Chains A and B, each alone.
Chain A
Amino acid sequence: MESSRTAAHPTATAALVAPGRTRRFRGTHRGTGRPARRGRLLRGLTPWLFLATGVGLLLLFTYWPAVNLVYYSFTDWDGIDLTKNFVGLQNYIDVFTDPTIFRVFYVSLYYFAASFAQMAIALYFATILSFSTRFSSLFRGILFFPYLINGVAIGFVFLYLFQPGGTLDTVLSWVGVSDPPQWLGDPDLVNWSLAGTSVWRYTGMNFVLFLGAIQSLPHELYEAAELDGASRWQQFWAIIFPGIRRVVGLSFILAIAGSLSVFEIPFIMTGGANGSTTFVIQTIQTAFTFRGVGLASAMAVVLLLIVLVVTWIQRKIFPDEKVDLT
């Protein structure tokens, strides 16, 4: 679910900490004739010249806001006032005691539940398309394409689908449902409709990931299994699922963080109306509509901590996750 929004990126770890690639040039600089000290200074500086822009932007646009976020969260700042009054833990107490704030956590459960459906569908189609299939690249393309579509366009496509008397109601009338509910107007239903939209949008990504993982499994395994007379079902449980368990597990854990940071679909389609406000929508509204930067910062810090904990668990379970699916 919206997992593209979270920056947690396990594979990055693997590449960034790859050992044994340093010190290879030692000695090649010798004998250039430059004064030794100047040469050493220059040599020490060179990598930083290459790094400067990247690290500078990183510090400015990632770390500085993160530090400020923590600072604001202990104040009552409204975003304009020159003075920021220190209020201690009051904002954090509000986050966990104010029912209007706390209930938005509950909304993410819909998206979390939907991510199970999303992964099951993705796994099913990845499995059947990994066996020889006619038009497999056409089917793969169709199933994947929604993931590439602009979020606002998807929002409109589904607003059109869900509108009273719209596409969905027409289809239902063919099978005899004459009194369809208000898909986006009924508070009991709106989150299911939105989570369903999210499944439509993101299944393709999971599907392509799973398909890539299945295809990287050695072919001999299937051939041996088929010689032994194993059915497709047995092949799935004995070969495919164990082979891609890590990718599935990883996607599952990332779905937790993803379902907490859902923003685009509900914001575009309902603007958070009828009880469809998610945590990020609530944070943005608190900060920019109600001018409660302090409280919004506390909310953002809480989300940040949850994501950090989830990522920490993920790293514990999959310590050296390296998913190379090309």
Chain B
Amino acid sequence: MSIATRPRSGLTFGMRVRSMSAQTAKYTSLVVASIVTLLPLTVVLFASLKSGKEYGASGPFTPPENWFNLDNFVTAFTNGAMLEGFINTAIVLAVSLVGTVFIGTMAAYALDRFAFRGKRLATGLFLVATLIPSVTSQVATFQLINGMGLYDTKAALILLFMGTDVIALYLFIQFMQSIPISLDEAAMIDGANRWTIYWRVVLPLLKPAIATVIIIKGIAIYNEFYAAFLYLPSQGFISTSLFRFKGPYGAHWEIIAAGTIIVIIPTLVAFLFLQKWIYKGLTSGAVK
């Protein structure tokens, strides 16, 4: 993590003063950055704990009178259809993740462990696909989804999340390259067929890569707004349920604040528990 600093006994007094002021500047800047990051969130937390009347009468920096006033959270959760959003997101998340893991690991297995005609073509297809930004092609994707009769269904989202994940494939291939081929060969000598090798040998060894993909993609799906907004307009998704607060609660910032906090809490919990994995996953797969 940190670079070992050498003992400072040989430093002159002047150097020590300079290094101390550099240290002060460093910690000051870190504290300022932390305040800039946390302040916008803190004031929203304050607002979410105030009653409507209290909110109107106090400034943004006034702490709530009652730190355990959860009325706004109850209102946001029940009236704002956030439960529906959470359930729908959970369903889409689970199915898409399972799908992505199987489709991705199988494709990676084929591309890494086989020599076959058309391999270059298949590889090229996946490569070129990374160049097409999905934001731009939504105009035509929408017509496709509509034509398939999937508009306004969760299946549309699931298919889109499963079908456009080249990054997962890349992570699987990268990890698979570190699994010795001799393991496959040993299994093959024992009479295992390709499917058995994939299922019994490769897939279990891919666990760390699978965990990484699940974390990166899980966060991405939880935060997805665009696809849910376009393809699932009449049902709630986490993002779109919250987005709908804009109209009816436009004048009730304490309710909107509570909804916002409800959406952030699962992310915070996930971050606190999975920190190491998240850093690792995002940096290994995400120079994008």
Interface residues of A (CB under 8 A from B): 3-13, 15-18, 21-26, 28, 44, 46-48, 50-51, 53-55, 57-66, 68-69, 72, 79, 121, 124-125, 128-134, 136-137, 139, 141-146, 148-153, 156-158, 160-161, 163, 166-167, 170, 200, 205, 208-209, 212, 215, 219, 222-223, 226-227, 232, 247, 250-251, 254, 257, 261, 263-264, 268, 280, 283-284, 287-288, 293, 296-297, 300-301, 303-304, 307-308, 311, 321, 323-326
Contacts and interface: CB of A to CB of B under 8 A. Distances in A.
Contacts of A232: 22
B103 interface: yes
A24 B181 contact: yes
Interface string B218-235: 011011011000100000
Contact of A58 (B41, B106, B125): B125
B271 A141 contact: yes
A287 B164 CA distance: 22
Interface string B97-134: 00000111011011111111111001101110111111
Q: Which of A7, A9, A54 has the most CB of B within 10 A?
A: A54
B235 to A, nearest CB: 16
Interface size, B (range): 35 or more
B143 A293 contact: yes
Contacts of A48: 110, 116, 118
Q: Which of A121, A142, A250 has the most CB of B within 10 A?
A: A142
Interface string B265-288: 001101100010011101111111
A296 B114 CA distance: 42
Contacts of B267: 148-150
B117 A7 contact: no
A219 B167 CA distance: 31
B163 A61 contact: yes
Given A8-B288, A57-B162, A160 B253 contact: yes
A257 B1 CA distance: 32
Contact of A61 (B27, B115, B144): B144
A300 B127 contact: no
B6 interface: yes
A307 B41 CA distance: 34
B189 A6 contact: no
Given A167-B43, A232-B22, A261 B133 contact: yes
A61 B127 contact: no
Nearest to A250: B287
25 contacts: A4-B220, A8-B133, A8-B288, A12-B126, A15-B177, A50-B110, A57-B163, A58-B164, A63-B125, A65-B144, A72-B140, A125-B29, A125-B30, A148-B267, A149-B223, A151-B239, A152-B225, A152-B243, A153-B242, A156-B257, A205-B286, A280-B136, A284-B138, A300-B137, A304-B137
Contacts of B83: none
Contact of A142 (B5, B34, B116, B132): B34
A139 B34 contact: yes
Given A7-B133, A21-B112, A130 B287 contact: no
A129 B111 CA distance: 40
Interface of B: 1-6, 22, 26-27, 29-30, 33-34, 36-41, 43-44, 47, 59-61, 102-104, 106-107, 109-119, 122-123, 125-127, 129-144, 159-160, 162-164, 166-167, 169-170, 173-174, 177, 181, 184-185, 188-189, 194, 198, 219-220, 222-223, 225-226, 230, 238-240, 242-243, 245, 253, 256-257, 259-260, 263-264, 267-268, 270-271, 275, 278-280, 282-288
B116 A44 contact: yes
Q: Which of A51, A132, A296 has the most CB of B within 10 A?
A: A51
A280 B132 contact: no
Contacts of B131: 7-8, 307-308, 311
Given A131-B5, A136-B1, A287-B142, A200 B166 contact: no
A63 B135 contact: no
Q: Which of B6, B243, B268, B275 has the most CB of A within 10 A?
A: B243
Contacts of A55: 107, 122, 125
Contacts of A24: 113, 115, 181
Contact of B185 (A25, A125, A304): A25
Contacts of B253: 160, 163
Contacts of A209: 283, 286-287
Given A44-B117, A65-B137, A160-B44, 8 more contacts: A51-B111, A128-B29, A131-B2, A133-B2, A145-B271, A150-B222, A208-B279, A215-B1
The 6 A-B pairs at the shortest CB distance, nearest first, are namely A57-B163, A54-B107, A132-B2, A50-B110, A22-B115, A61-B163
B114 A46 contact: yes
Given A9-B170, A50-B106, A219-B4, A148 B278 contact: yes
B198 A50 contact: yes
A101 to B, nearest CB: 14
Given A18-B177, A300-B139, A152 B263 contact: yes
